[in-house]
């Protein structure tokens, strides 16, 4: 008599569940835009209300469709993804709108004369240019960077490598945090008070503007450099010390090259933070219509100051201008704003390139 064992059989569970098609988000987005557009036209809503309603319909409709097909977990994932996409669009749309506005209004003013002439003796319908403002911006910001980068870099090195836990390091950190939040006009007033005590009440020159901007740059450089230095693994430092390398050489040959890309990015953020400042430069650097390449003598004009005066003193609209035409200063202001954006973008691209060249090679 033989006994045969019966092996119980289990139904195999599927490893994948039903999913919405890949084109489902696009379809829901299209339907949300159409429904919001129809309702906005019927009720006479503006573009902001239309965009808000379309985003709301998209965020609600896609998870509702998903919960009937993919289940509750899939619906939660769709809801989170939809919120992320809506947040991205909410951040990207104003940026793209700003860029488009500056390009459409600033490009008509850009030509060779606008970039190579100043505003000296410009009257009537003469166009003039922003050459003096471009040079003033580059000189004042460059000197501010030369002042701020060494101070900020050495301060961050002390906080991370030498001053851990000391009272002086805690005071420096506190003061840097306080300086991060000071209004820019306060920096301009400080620089003005400093140089008035030295040179007298009539002093206005570009170097004073550089000192004011450096007060705004130093905290940003310190904090960004400090964070980058903290990201360097301690294993690299300990390996260098084990080979008998002194601490100062470990910092210059191991720590700084490892974090160079982040440091350069932080410096560029600091430059972008101050290159558009107007208030401190109005106070200490002043305004001029002529080219001045000497930061230690006479007034200097920067692009933000030029934009400010072009908007506040735009001139008069010509009599033969078409209806709706703006004063010539408004077009100059848009052109100067476009040039300023291009300068900031070029500086960031150069910083990326320099950081990639000098960063530690991996492989």
Q: 166 to each of 17, 27, 163, 233, how far by Cα in Å? A: 58, 60, 5, 21
Q: Are 243 and 176 in contact (CB under 8 A)?
A: no
| CA 95 and chain centroid, separation | 11
Q: What is the dihedral of CA 12, 17, 21, 22, to 10 degrees?
A: -100
Q: What is the pLDDT of residue 15?
A: 58
Residue bearing the bigger pLDDT, 2 or 16: 16
CA distance 222 to 36: 48
Q: Does residue 13 surpass a pLDDT of 60?
A: no
pTM for the model stands at 0.81
Q: Are 306 and 336 in contact (CB under 8 A)?
A: yes
* Domains of the chain, CATH where assigned: 24-109 (no CATH), 131-314+326-358 (1.10.3720.10)
DSSP sequence for 131-168: HHHHHHHHHHHHHHHHHHHHHHHHHHHIIIII-TT-HH
Q: Which residues does 192 contact at the CB level (< 8 Å), separation at least 6?
A: 208, 212, 283, 284
Q: What is the pLDDT of residue 2?
A: 56
Q: Does residue 14 surpass a pLDDT of 70?
A: no
Q: What is the pLDDT of residue 143?
A: 94
Q: What is the mean pLDDT of residues 12-38?
A: 81
Q: What is the CA radius of gyration of the chain?
A: 29
Size of the chain in residues: 363
pLDDT-derived band at 68 (thresholds 50, 70, 90) equals confident
CA distance 316 to 18: 67
pLDDT-derived band at 340 (thresholds 50, 70, 90) equals very high
Q: Are 171 and 105 in contact (CB under 8 A)?
A: no
Q: Does residue 32 surpass a pLDDT of 70?
A: yes
List, for residues 165-212, the tens digit of each pLDDT value. 789 989 999 999 888 888 889 999 999 999 999 888 888 899 999 999
Query: In the predicted model, what is the mean pLDDT of the chain?
Result: 85
Find the distance separating the first CA and the last CA of the chain, reported in whole Å: 70
Q: What is the pLDDT of residue 342?
A: 92
List, for residues 252-307, the tens digit of each pLDDT value. 888 988 888 888 888 888 888 889 888 899 889 888 888 889 889 888 999 999 99
Residue 228: helix, strand or coil by DSSP? Answer: helix
Q: What is the mean pLDDT of residues 224-244?
A: 90
Q: What is the pLDDT of residue 158?
A: 93
CA triplet 165, 169, 170: central angle to 5 degrees? 80
Q: Does residue 351 surpass a pLDDT of 70?
A: yes
Q: Which residues does 140 contact at the CB level (< 8 Å), separation at least 6?
A: 206, 209, 210, 213, 281, 285, 295, 300, 302
Percent of the chain with pLDDT over 70: 90
CA distance 109 to 107: 5
CA distance 115 to 127: 11
List, for residues 79-117, the tens digit of each pLDDT value. 898 899 888 988 898 889 999 999 999 898 888 888 888
């Amino acid at each position: 008599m033989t006994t045969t064992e019966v092996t119980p059989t289990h139904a195999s569970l599927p490893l994948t569940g039903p999913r919405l098609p890949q084109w489902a988000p696009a379809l829901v987005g299209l339907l949300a835009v159409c429904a919001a557009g129809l309702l906005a036209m019927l009720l006479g809503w503006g573009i902001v209300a239309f965009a808000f309603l379309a985003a709301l319909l998209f965020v609600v409709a896609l998870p509702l469709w998903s919960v009937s097909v993919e289940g509750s977990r899939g619906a939660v994932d769709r809801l989170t993804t939809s919120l992320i996409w809506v947040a991205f669009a909410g951040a990207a749309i104003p940026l793209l709108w700003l860029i488009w506005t500056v390009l459409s209004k600033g490009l008509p003013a850009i030509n060779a004369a606008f970039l190579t002439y100043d505003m000296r003796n410009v009257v009537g319908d003469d166009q003039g240019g922003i050459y003096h403002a471009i040079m003033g911006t580059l000189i004042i910001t460059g000197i501010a960077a030369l002042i701020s980068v060494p101070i900020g870099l050495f301060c961050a090195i002390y906080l991370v490598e030498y001053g851990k836990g000391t009272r002086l390091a805690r005071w420096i950190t506190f003061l840097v945090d306080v300086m991060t939040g000071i209004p820019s006009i306060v920096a301009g007033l400080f620089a003005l008070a400093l140089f008035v005590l030295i040179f007298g009440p009539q002093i206005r020159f570009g170097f004073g503007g550089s000192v004011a901007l450096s007060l705004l740059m130093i905290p940003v450089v310190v904090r960004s450099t400090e964070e980058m230095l903290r990201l360097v693994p301690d294993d690299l430092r300990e390996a260098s010390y084990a080979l008998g390398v002194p601490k100062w050489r470990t910092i210059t040959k191991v720590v700084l090259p490892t974090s160079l890309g982040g440091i350069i990015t932080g410096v560029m953020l600091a430059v972008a933070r101050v290159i558009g400042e107007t208030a401190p430069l109005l106070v200490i650097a002043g305004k001029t219509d002529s080219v001045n390449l000497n930061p230690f003598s006479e007034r200097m004009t920067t692009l933000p100051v030029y934009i400010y005066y072009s908007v506040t003193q735009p001139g008069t609209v010509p009599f033969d201008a078409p209806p709706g035409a703006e004063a010539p200063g408004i077009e100059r202001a848009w052109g100067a704003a476009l040039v300023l954006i291009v300068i900031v973008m070029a500086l960031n691209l150069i910083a990326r390139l320099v950081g990639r060249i000098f960063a530690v090679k991996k492989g």
